[in-house]
């Protein structure tokens, strides 16, 4: 059986020289790779008491929804600003060049609910930190954050030091 790392396509010098881009689409395009990715993420939360799975747009949806389905838990989408139809809360966060805003429905997390956040990649950690802050503002507790891949050289884990963070695959570089 192949290891998950073997399904990841690495593209050198993208988006700029010296960077190795880790392409998640090569996992998605292989049924065995996709199944292994979902199973591996789910394994990371097998002993976690969780009420809700949440994921950030868009690849957090891809990996979070099947986990929520398998565990028979609700899924909460965390989206880019202006994409949700009901009353929302929002959180700004910094990007490498500028800033962005994510939102979630104001009624999506109930006080006291235990939430697992799922996303495909941790780089600097800004997006998922913003997501965690929104969960907490609604009274939820972030009990775990799981990423499929981690770029350790960008130190996103340090930004999330107050949370239980795990990744399935860890790359030392950027």
Active-site positions? 59, 96
22, 122, 125, 145, 151 from 158: Cα distances, Å: 21, 11, 8, 13, 12
Cα–Cα distance for residue pair 174/155, rounded to 1 Å: 9
* 167 DSSP β-pair partners: 147
First to last CA, the chain: 28
Cα–Cα distance for residue pair 111/142, rounded to 1 Å: 12
8, 33, 62, 64, 138 from 3: Cα distances, Å: 10, 9, 20, 20, 38
Contact by Cβ (8 Å): 39, 54: no
Between vectors from CA 169 to CA 165 and to CA 172, what angle results, nearest 5°? 90
């Amino acid at each position: 059986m192949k290891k998950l790392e073997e399904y990841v396509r690495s593209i050198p010098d993208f988006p700029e020289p010296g960077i190795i881009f880790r392409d998640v689409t090569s996992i998605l395009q292989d049924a065995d790779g996709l199944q292994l990715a979902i199973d591996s993420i789910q394994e990371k939360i097998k002993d976690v008491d969780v009420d809700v799975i949440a994921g950030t747009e868009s690849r957090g949806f891809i990996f979070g929804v099947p986990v929520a389905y398998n565990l028979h838990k609700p899924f909460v989408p965390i989206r880019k600003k202006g994409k949700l139809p009901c009353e929302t809360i929002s959180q700004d966060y910094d990007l490498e060049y500028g800033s962005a805003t994510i939102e979630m429905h104001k009624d999506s997390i109930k006080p006291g609910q235990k939430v697992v956040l799922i996303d495909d990649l941790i780089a600097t950690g800004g997006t998922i930190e913003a997501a965690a802050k929104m969960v907490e503002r609604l009274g939820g507790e972030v009990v775990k954050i799981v990423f499929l891949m981690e770029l350790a050289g960008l130190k996103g884990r340090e930004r999330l030091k107050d949370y239980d963070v795990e990744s399935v695959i860890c790359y030392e570089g950027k």
